[in-house]
Amino acid sequence: MRYAADPPAARLTIALDELVAIYHRPSGATHLLAPPAPELLDALAEGPADAPTLLARLSRQFDLPDADPQAIAARMEELVIAGLAWRA
Amino acid sequence: MKAARLLVTALRDPETVAGIEMADWTALLTAARAERLLGTLACRLDSRAVPASVARILADARAGADEERRAALWEAEMARRALAPLGIPVVLLKGTAFVAAGLDAGQGRSIGDLDILVPREALGEAEAALRATGWEWVKENAYDDSYYRRWMHELPPLIHRDRDRMIDVHHTILPPTARPTPDAAALLAGAVLLGNGLSVLSNEDIIIHAVAHLFADGDLSGGLRNLWDIDRLIREFDGESFWVRLQERAERHDLRPAVERAARQANDLYGTPIPKRWRVWDSGDPLIKRRLLARDGWGRQGYPFTRLYFFVRSHWMRMPPLMLAKHLWTKAIRKPA
Amino acid sequence: MRHRFSVQVGAVGFRIGSAWRGPIAALERLYVGYPKPDVPDMTVRLFPEKPWRRFARPSVAISGDFWLPDAAPLPLRQGLLAAEMGMNLQVALGWRRHLLLHCSAVERDGRVLLMSGASGSGKSTLATMLALRGWRFLGDEFAFVDLEDGRIHPFPRASSLKNEAVAAVRSAGGAVGPVLEGTPKGMIGYWRPPEIAIARMTEAAPPAMLLFPRFGRPENVERLAASETFMLLTQASTNYVSLGEAGFGALTRLVQDLPALAIDYPDGEAGMMLVDRLWGET
């Protein structure tokens, strides 16, 4: 399954504490997201990707010793339901 | 002057508001809000030419209309994502279609529910796909359900459980029981792709649907707004052979008298340019005009007797008489104590 | 409409039309000395449910620019409450010039204390009692947050005190009246803000502290994380969603800058002392 998201300019992102508040401009909806969801959305800026590719993109920036693609896919499905991403 | 009159005049000739007195401004703005035309009015008027307190109200109305526009387009996109796997055409109707297609009629327009048109044979699949992506029945009620399914031109309304927004899925633009029978297949065949996976009706069909909505969908309440849509659409689409095409198309959908009546009203109230041969006298026009202009400066609708007539009439148009009796009876006994 | 009244409260110009003289007379007394709007922002209508109900067991239906389909009418002797509810309804459903928070607000030394909470939390009573001790009363129902600079604009309506709060404010030296008995919310008493609060109703001030009070519990103070405050305030705002990005900007700015505390307090006196202490620490 490949996922896509709106470009970063479609989102207004404010880090409040460990949670990040995101205003999604196309929908007008506000989301409070915990890591790694905001990072996943940013990683999709390079273009649509499946879970292993997203994991690879994240690994370039972050230390992810025990991350697995299934957990990434589960987070992505949550983002799809929220309307922040879609299946490409 | 009656508030509805002030509103019509301000929409038609925005520069005439220069001479309006403070008390009349209050009446005008209240009537505009009640007719769901405040956003439209705000986009028509030049804020620099009005008193400061009025300019603030108009700025709020414009911001509100921008938000409604965004929400409407997002609902359309959500419906597109839900229905995309079916590979059926999804045709936007009414306000959402106006803003999605960038039409003048969408400027500042208030938009409530999402209305879409799908092929009748795809209704079942569409319903299942929407229910699988978070839309739910507004009310679980066997009578309304069978009433909708047997007699109406749309599914019972669905509401999204997270976004709290309604969608009306139509398979044609008038109930099957109504006397005129629009050609649903022609509506779909004439639809125009917008390039984002969604469609709108052809120019002529957009106008014809706006007319059907004005006369057959309810008791003419909100009629000034629907008629304003018709005025803007006609002005935008007018051109080479437009009136011939509109007439032919209206004929095909069994709605020619209604389209001509609406065009006459729009011409009378909003100065919509229409051909000379469309300007005939009709004994029903003054009553409709009176009903359209019923709103007062406190936002109330006057003329209860005129309204009752239109209520009965609108139900009459939707359903043959025996069914009307049955419907009113069922409604009456279901009324909570 | 037959009887009418208009009043400017803070940023909002109201117009109230009524089929009866009574509610209008009560409004004139409660709002004497308030300015008048030239073109009001919001209209309230008080009218008989059915034409004959103007005289026979008159009951006041509430409507206006905005309305709720299931709003129950009130008996005519509670006409003032109907008018106040109608005004609240217009603001809650229709206002979009500021971010609205369901908060009471008082000001001291040019800085605003916000108190958020459900009915019964004591936020109205606390704001009223603080105003009796020299704080400037900005409002007990809505805080109007400026969308540009985040300052709090006053909305100094008469405070509506419920049940025990009437006696509490009276014993603290406040004049409460009129008092309506047997309303759907119990006994309601109106407390008119001090003249200075009315005279300065256009002066906004920046917020300095946000409290979530809970009345009738052993004293306790807990600091809230910004994300938690954010979530609570989205629920305490009637227009956050309809404001879109402007609302998001105003609310994120507010919760980032503002210390937010959940406070439990056993009674009014203890609540005041706690507020004084916490205010001194900010």
Mutate to test the interface with A, among C245, C253, C257, C258 (most CBs of A within 10 A): C245
DSSP H helices in B13-162: 22-34, 38-44, 52-83, 94-100, 123-132, 142-151
C184 phi, psi to nearest 5 deg? -55, -20
Give CA separation, A80 vs A57, A85, B76, B101, B133, in Å: 19, 5, 16, 26, 11
Same domain, C121 and C16: no
**Closest chain A C-alpha to C244 CA, distance in angstroms:** 5
Q: Does C150 touch chain B (CB under 8 A)?
A: no
**Closest chain C C-alpha to A20 CA, distance in angstroms:** 8
- A83 → closest Cβ in B71, B73, B78: B78
Could you list the pLDDT tens digit for every one of the 282 residues in chain C?
Answer: 999 999 999 999 999 999 999 999 999 999 999 999 999 999 999 999 877 777 778 899 999 999 988 888 999 999 999 999 999 999 999 999 999 999 999 999 999 999 998 877 889 999 999 999 999 999 999 999 999 999 999 999 999 999 999 999 999 899 998 999 999 989 999 999 999 999 999 999 999 999 999 999 999 999 999 999 999 999 999 999 999 999 999 999 999 989 999 999 998 889 999 999 999 998
3-class SS string, C27-96: HHHHCCCCCCCCCCCEEEEEEECCHHHHCCCCEEEEEECCCCCCCCCEEHHHHHHHHHHHHHHHHHHHCC
Quick check: B299 and C45 CB within 8 A? Answer: yes
- A21 → closest Cβ in C230, C241, C244: C230
Residues whose CB is less than 8 angstroms from the CB of residue C34 and which lie 6 or more positions away in sequence, other chains included: C7, C8, C9, C198
Partner A, chain C 230-259, Cβ-Cβ below 8 Å: 230-231, 234, 240-241, 244-245, 248-249, 252, 255-256
Quick check: C248 and A23 CB within 8 A? Answer: yes
Pair C73, C59: CB distance under 8 Å:
yes
Pair C7, C14: CB distance under 8 Å:
yes
Pair B199, B192: CB distance under 8 Å:
yes
Same domain, C146 and C252: yes
Bridge partner list, C105: C114, C139
pLDDT at residue number A67: 77
CB pairs under 8 A between B and C: 45
User: Where a domain ends, among C65, C94, C123?
Assistant: C94
Distance CA B30, CA B36 (A): 10
Residues of A in contact with C96 (CB under 8 A): none
Same domain, C64 and C112: no
Neighbours of B143 (CB within 10 A): 11
**Spacing of C-alpha C26 from chain mean position:** 18
CA-nearest residue to C39 within chain B is: B26
Same domain, C40 and C137: no
Give CA separation, C102 vs A31, A39, C91, C156, C186, in Å: 21, 34, 11, 14, 21
pLDDT at residue number B304: 54
Amino acid at C19: A
pLDDT at residue number C92: 94
Distance CA C169, CA C163 (A): 11
pLDDT at residue number C15: 98
The pLDDT tens digits of the residues spanning C208-243 come to 999 999 999 999 999 999 999 999 999 999 999 999
User: Where a domain ends, among C68, C94, C120?
Assistant: C94
Distance CA C223, CA B49 (A): 50
pLDDT at residue number B222: 87
Quick check: C245 and A12 CB within 8 A? Answer: yes
Instruction: Assign C121 to helix, strand or coil.
Output: coil
Six-digit token pair at C191?
């407390």
Distance CA A75, CA A77 (A): 5
pLDDT at residue number B333: 43
CATH architecture, domain defined by B3-334? 2-Layer Sandwich (3.30)
* Residues of chain B scoring pLDDT < 50: 311, 315-322, 324, 328-337
Distance CA B193, CA C276 (A): 65
Give CA separation, B106 vs B37, B47, B263, C41, in Å: 11, 19, 19, 24
Instruction: Assign B301 to helix, strand or coil.
Output: strand
C36 phi, psi to nearest 5 deg? -110, 140
Residues whose CB is less than 8 angstroms from the CB of residue A56 and which lie 6 or more positions away in sequence, other chains included: none
Longest dimension (CA), chain B: 58
Chains with 3 or more CB pairs under 8 A to chain C: A, B
Quick check: A28 and B73 CB within 8 A? Answer: no
Quick check: C39 and B53 CB within 8 A? Answer: yes
Distance CA B64, CA B71 (A): 11
Quick check: A16 and C227 CB within 8 A? Answer: yes
Domain span holding position C134: 98-281
Instruction: Indicate whether A55 pLDDT > 70.
Output: yes
Tell me the torsion sign for CA atoms B95, B97, B102, B105. negative
Same domain, C125 and C181: yes
Amino acid at C44: V
Give CA separation, C185 vs B144, C68, C160, in Å: 35, 18, 11
B35 phi, psi to nearest 5 deg? -85, 5
Chains with 3 or more CB pairs under 8 A to chain B: A, C
Same domain, C102 and C88: no
| Own/partner long-range contacts of A77-80 (Cβ < 8 Å, ≥24 apart) | A78/A37, A79/A3, A79/A5, A79/A37, A79/A40, A79/A41, A80/A3
How many independent structural domains does chain C possess? 2
Distance CA B315, CA B188 (A): 26
The pLDDT tens digits of the residues spanning C145-192 come to 999 999 999 999 999 999 999 999 999 899 998 999 999 989 999 999
Mutate to test the interface with A, among B73, B74, B162 (most CBs of A within 10 A): B74
Six-digit token pair at A18?
């460990």
Cα atoms found within 13 Å of the Cα of residue B155, Cβ hemisphere only: 29
pLDDT at residue number B143: 55
pLDDT confidence bin for A64, thresholds 50/70/90: confident
Same domain, C73 and C123: no
Pair B52, B25: CB distance under 8 Å:
no
Same domain, C264 and C160: yes
pLDDT at residue number B71: 96
Short-list C37, C84, C78, C80, CA closest to C64: C84
Q: Which helix (H) or strand (E) holds A78?
A: helix A69-82
Distance CA C242, CA C263 (A): 30
Residues of B in contact with C38 (CB under 8 A): 22, 51, 53
Residues whose CB is less than 8 angstroms from the CB of residue B226 and which lie 6 or more positions away in sequence, other chains included: B210, B213, B214
Give CA separation, B246 vs B94, B96, B275, in Å: 18, 22, 12
The CATH number for C182's domain is: 3.40.50
**Closest chain B C-alpha to A85 CA, distance in angstroms:** 11
pLDDT at residue number B305: 53
